[in-house]
C-alpha cells in the first residue's frame, strides 16, 4: 500500500473530489503542502472551495485527466473499476488508494488518532467531541460526516497532534484505519447488503477493536448485547459508558427542559459526581452520546469546565433534529434517521418537544435495509401520530427485491397507526398543507433527499 507521509508531500489525484468526505481529505493534504488535483461530475461549493485553495479540478469524467507526475490516485467505493481514470492509473502503474485507505494513512501522521464508530450517533458524537476540544483550546484536525456550523463545514485542519474522525463499518472501511483511541457507541443490524447478519457485524467491530495498540483506549457502550464476548482478550484499556451500575461512566438525575434538551450529572463507577451537563440538543440518546464524549475527553486530561462548556455549545449538525422553520404555525424539523433505532430515538425526543400532533414523513433508504428491517421500521414509526411514507430512496441499489414503502404503511395500519403513502414529494406536500394544523410538529426523516419536502413547504 502507498504510504502518505506529511514529511514528504506528493501529488495526490482524487476521483470524485467533490464528495463531502473526499473534499475534506483533500483540504487536509493541501494544508500539509501536498499538490492536489482531481475530477468530479459537477461543480459545487465544495469543489469551488478547493479550487480557491489551489486544487486543479476537472468536470468531464468521460476521459482521464490524471496529470503527469501524479504519485497516487484516490477513489471512492462508488467509482466503477471501468472508470476511465481508474483504467488509466492502472495502465500507468500509478498506486491506487480507496478513500478509507487514504484516511487510514492520514491517521498515521498524528500523535493521537481518535475514531468514533457505531451503527448510529457517529456524526453527533464526533461533533460533541469537536466542541469540547475547541473549548479546551486544543488545535484538533477534524473530519465529520455532516456540516458543523462551529467549524463552518465538515473539516477542520489543525495541528498534527490530534486527529478525530468518524469510522464507518460499511464495507469494513474502518479496518483500513490506524486509531490510537476508539469510541464505539452501539452495534446494531444494518448495511445488510454487505454484512451477512448481526454476528458478521459484531465480528467486524471486534477486528476494529483489535486495531488499537496495547497503549490504546477503547470507550464502549456497556449496554451492548453480550459485551464480554466482544472485548475479552483485548490488550488496550477499556472504559465503559451506559446504564449499568458497573459502567465506568453513567448519567444520573436526568431531566429535560421544554425543548426536550437533557441535563444530567456524570457519575463514575465509585458513584462520585464529576460534573453537571446541560445539552442544547434533544433526546435521551444524546445523553449517552455526550457521556461517551465525556469519557473520551477525560482520558485526554481535559477539564470538566471545558467538557461542560463544549457540550452546552453544541447545537447540532445539519440534518440531526434540525429546525428548518415554521409554516402556518407548523414546526418543520429534519432528521437523518434511517435505521429503526435512530427513528425510535428521534421520535422519542420529539414527544418531549412542543407539539399537538407529530407527523413523520419517512423516506426509507435502500431496498435491502427496508426489506430486512420492515417490521422494525413499522414498530419505530408507530411512535408518531401520523406517518407519511415516500418512495424508497435507492442510493446504490436497483428495485429488484419486490419491496415498497407501502409495505410499511400496511403494517402500520394493521397496528392501528394512521399511515399514508404517496409516489411524489408534491403529493406529500399538498397532503401536509391540507391536514397538518397549527401547533403540529412535522419531521422529515431519512438519509436520502426527503429534506426537500420541508424546505419546499417553507418556501411555499
* CB-CB contact of 333 with 322 (8 Å): yes
Indicate if 426 belongs to the active site: no
Q: Calculate the alpha carbon distances from 325 to 273, 321, 355, 359 in Å.
A: 38, 12, 14, 15
| Bridge partners for 167 per DSSP | 117
Q: How far apart are the first and last CA of the chain?
A: 52
Query: 272-280 long-range contacts, Cβ below 8 Å, gap at least 24?
Result: 274/298, 274/304, 275/304, 275/307, 275/308, 276/308, 277/251, 277/307, 277/308, 277/311, 277/312, 278/308, 278/311, 278/312, 279/311, 279/312, 279/314, 280/311, 280/312, 280/313, 280/314, 280/315, 280/316
Residue identified by cell 435495509 is 369
Q: What whole-number distance in Å separates Cα of residue 376 and Cα of residue 366? A: 15
Distance CA 361, CA 145 (A): 23
Catalytic-residue membership of 141: no
112 in Cβ contact with 138 (< 8 Å): no
Instruction: Check the annotation: does 123 bind a ligand.
Output: yes
Choose, from 131, 166, 182, 429, the residue flagged as catalytic.
166
The conformation of residue 42, written as its DSSP 8-state character, comes to S
3-state secondary structure 212-267: CCCCCEEEEECCCCCHHHHHCCCCCEEEEECCCCCCCEEEEEEEECCCCEEEEEEE
Q: Is 122 labelled as part of a ligand binding site?
A: yes
Q: Is 370 annotated as a binding residue?
A: no
The rounded distance, in Å, linking the Cα atoms of 258 and 51 is: 45
- Cα(1)–Cα(95) distance, rounded to whole angstroms? 8
Catalytic member of 35, 70, 122, 429? 122
Integer Cα distance of 404 and 67 in angstroms: 45
The answer to whether 408 and 364 are in contact (CB under 8 A) is: yes
Whether 123 sits among the annotated catalytic residues: the reply is yes
Do the beta carbons of residue 346 and residue 337 sit within 8 Å?
Answer: yes
Tell me which of 47, 123, 180, 317 is the catalytic residue: 123
Binding residues: 118-124
Please give the positions annotated as active site. 122-123, 166
Binding residues for ATP: 118-124
Amino acid at each position: 500500500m502507498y504510504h502518505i507521509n506529511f514529511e514528504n508531500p506528493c501529488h495526490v489525484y482524487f476521483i470524485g473530489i467533490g464528495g463531502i468526505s473526499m473534499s475534506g481529505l483533500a483540504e487536509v493534504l493541501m494544508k500539509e503542502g501536498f499538490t492536489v488535483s482531481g475530477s468530479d461530475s459537477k461543480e459545487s461549493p465544495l469543489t469551488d472551495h478547493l479550487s480557491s485553495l489551489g486544487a486543479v479540478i476537472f468536470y468531464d469524467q468521460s476521459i482521464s485527466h490524471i496529470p503527469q507526475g501524479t504519485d497516487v490516485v484516490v477513489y471512492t467505493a462508488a467509482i466503477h473499476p471501468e472508470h476511465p481514470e481508474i483504467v488509466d492509473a492502472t495502465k500507468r502503474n500509478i498506486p491506487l488508494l480507496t478513500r478509507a485507505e487514504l484516511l487510514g494513512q492520514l491517521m498515521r501522521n498524528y500523535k493521537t488518532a481518535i475514531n468514533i464508530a457505531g451503527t448510529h450517533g457517529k456524526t453527533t458524537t464526533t461533533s460533541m467531541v469537536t466542541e469540547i476540544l475547541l473549548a479546551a483550546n486544543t488545535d484538533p484536525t477534524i473530519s465529520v460526516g455532516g456540516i458543523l456550523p462551529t467549524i463552518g463545514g465538515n473539516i477542520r485542519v489543525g495541528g498534527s497532534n490530534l486527529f478525530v474522525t468518524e469510522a464507518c463499518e460499511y464495507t469494513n472501511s474502518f479496518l483500513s484505519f490506524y486509531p490510537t483511541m476508539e469510541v464505539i457507541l452501539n452495534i446494531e443490524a444494518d448495511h445488510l447488503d454487505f454484512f451477512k447478519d448481526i454476528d458478521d457485524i459484531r465480528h467486524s467491530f471486534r477486528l476494529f477493536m483489535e486495531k488499537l495498540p496495547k497503549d490504546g483506549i477503547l470507550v464502549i457502550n456497556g449496554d451492548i448485547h453480550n459485551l464480554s464476548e466482544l472485548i475479552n482478550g483485548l490488550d488496550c484499556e477499556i472504559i465503559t459508558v451506559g446504564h449499568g451500575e458497573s459502567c465506568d461512566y453513567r448519567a444520573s438525575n436526568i431531566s429535560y427542559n421544554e425543548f426536550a434538551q437533557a441535563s444530567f450529572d456524570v457519575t463514575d463507577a465509585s458513584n462520585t459526581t464529576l460534573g453537571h451537563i446541560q445539552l442544547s440538543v434533544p433526546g435521551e440518546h444524546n445523553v449517552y452520546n455526550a457521556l461517551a464524549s465525556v469519557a473520551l475527553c477525560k482520558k485526554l486530561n481535559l477539564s470538566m469546565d471545558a467538557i461542560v462548556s463544549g457540550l452546552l455549545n453544541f447545537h447540532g449538525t445539519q440534518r440531526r433534529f434540525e429546525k428548518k422553520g415554521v409554516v402556518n404555525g407548523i414546526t418543520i424539523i429534519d432528521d437523518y434517521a434511517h435505521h429503526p433505532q435512530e427513528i425510535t430515538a428521534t421520535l422519542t425526543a420529539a414527544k418531549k418537544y412542543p407539539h399537538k400532533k407529530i407527523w413523520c414523513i419517512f423516506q426509507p433508504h435502500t431496498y435491502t435495509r427496508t426489506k430486512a428491517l420492515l417490521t422494525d421500521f413499522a414498530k419505530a414509526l408507530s411512535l408518531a401520530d401520523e406517518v407519511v411514507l415516500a418512495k424508497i430512496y435507492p442510493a446504490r441499489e436497483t428495485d429488484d427485491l419486490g419491496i415498497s414503502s407501502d409495505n410499511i404503511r400496511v403494517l402500520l395500519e394493521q397496528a392501528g397507526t394512521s399511515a399514508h403513502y404517496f409516489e411524489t414529494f408534491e403529493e406529500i406536500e399538498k397532503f401536509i398543507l391540507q391536514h397538518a394544523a397549527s401547533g403540529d410538529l412535522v419531521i422529515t426523516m431519512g438519509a436520502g433527499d426527503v429534506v426537500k419536502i420541508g424546505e419546499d413547504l417553507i418556501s411555499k
